Amino acid sequence: MALNIQTLKTRALTAAVFAAVMLTGLLWLHWVFIALFTIIHFGAWWEWVKLLKRIYPGTYLPRLPLGLLYITLPCLMLINLRLAGLTYRGDTLLSDTGWIIPCYIIFSIWVNDTMAYITGSLIGKTPFSSISPKKTWEGTIGGALLCVMVMTAVAYGTKWLSLKDALVIASIAAVFGTAGDLLESKLKRMAGVKDSGTFMPGHGGFLDRFDSLLVAVPLAWLYTRLVHSGYLL
């Protein structure tokens, strides 16, 4: 698969704008993050309903509640991770480390997606799944390995997370993020559409952009709950 420079530029520019917005939500104030993911939540729900209407015309209503597990629960878990790092004394905020784990999850998915795309474009030959014909084993494995390497190196340099936590969260993001991407690709194929929406040029709609996150977050939340039981609310 030849590397499409124009497509890569479009994706990179859109990702940069998205990263700036997300970093503002993560690092500025926690309520900005809540507002951001409230918008993402309802945007994803809007597209979820549209997909179901195309897949199950006339009989989609009984399937709507699945969106609570697919969209609402992961968004609430991510918000929980963000709020859990707030430390108060009375009404005074003493410290805020709640951005760390959400950042690692989101950055891991970005790194995995980007590296998988580049690696697959350069050396990808073996199809990974019929659901997403453009994905290759070379790209998928290369993206996952580079994701783990990069995020572990970040943890080593910043000390924001232990190397073990960074490795596990990056691995969860790579494996289950890819599963989330395939799940949404299957839904789009069933609906007969290329993208779930047109929210982000080069990335499609809300579900196109956050499909990996929606599946990876519950596993990352569960890991954090099991390993750092005192961290979560």
pLDDT of 25: 77
- Specify if 194 maps to a domain: yes
pLDDT of 190: 96
pLDDT of 203: 64
Q: How far apart are the first and last CA of the chain?
A: 46
Instruction: Flag the least confident range among 18-22, 100-104, 183-187.
Output: 18-22
Tell which residue, 185, 184, 180, 186, has the closest CA to residue 212: 180
Torsion of CA 110, 213, 205, 149, to 10 degrees: 10
CA distance 163 to 151: 9
Inform me whether the pLDDT recorded for 166 exceeds 50.
Answer: yes
pLDDT band at 7 (very low <50, low <70, confident <90, very high): low
pTM of full prediction above 0.85: yes
Copy the structure tokens of residue 98. 């709640």
- Specify if 22 maps to a domain: yes
Query: Which residue type does 156 have?
Result: Y
Query: Higher model confidence: residue 143 or residue 225?
Result: 143
What mean pLDDT is predicted for residues 222-227? 89
- Specify if 37 maps to a domain: yes
pLDDT band at 4 (very low <50, low <70, confident <90, very high): low
What mean pLDDT is predicted for residues 111-118? 93
Inform me whether the pLDDT recorded for 62 exceeds 90.
Answer: yes
How many structural domains does the chain have?
1
What mean pLDDT is predicted for residues 21-32? 81
Tell which residue, 70, 79, 75, has the closest CA to residue 184: 70
Query: Which residue type does 113 have?
Result: D
Inform me whether the pLDDT recorded for 233 exceeds 50.
Answer: no
Inform me whether the pLDDT recorded for 1 exceeds 70.
Answer: no
Evaluate the CA torsion angle 177, 99, 30, 115 in order and state its sign: negative
Q: Which domain holds residue 107?
A: 5-227
- Specify if 232 maps to a domain: no
Copy the structure tokens of residue 125. 């030959």
What mean pLDDT is predicted for residues 171-196? 96
Residue carrying the six token digits 């994803």: 44
pLDDT of 69: 97
Copy the structure tokens of residue 75. 């968004």
Average pLDDT, the chain: 89
CB–CB of 71/205 below 8 Å? no
What mean pLDDT is predicted for residues 183-188? 96
| Count of beta carbons in the 10 Å neighbourhood of residue 131 | 15
- Specify if 233 maps to a domain: no
- Specify if 9 maps to a domain: yes
pLDDT band at 5 (very low <50, low <70, confident <90, very high): low
Tell which residue, 144, 152, 131, 150, has the closest CA to residue 173: 144
Percent of the chain at pLDDT > 90 equals 67
Inform me whether the pLDDT recorded for 78 exceeds 50.
Answer: yes
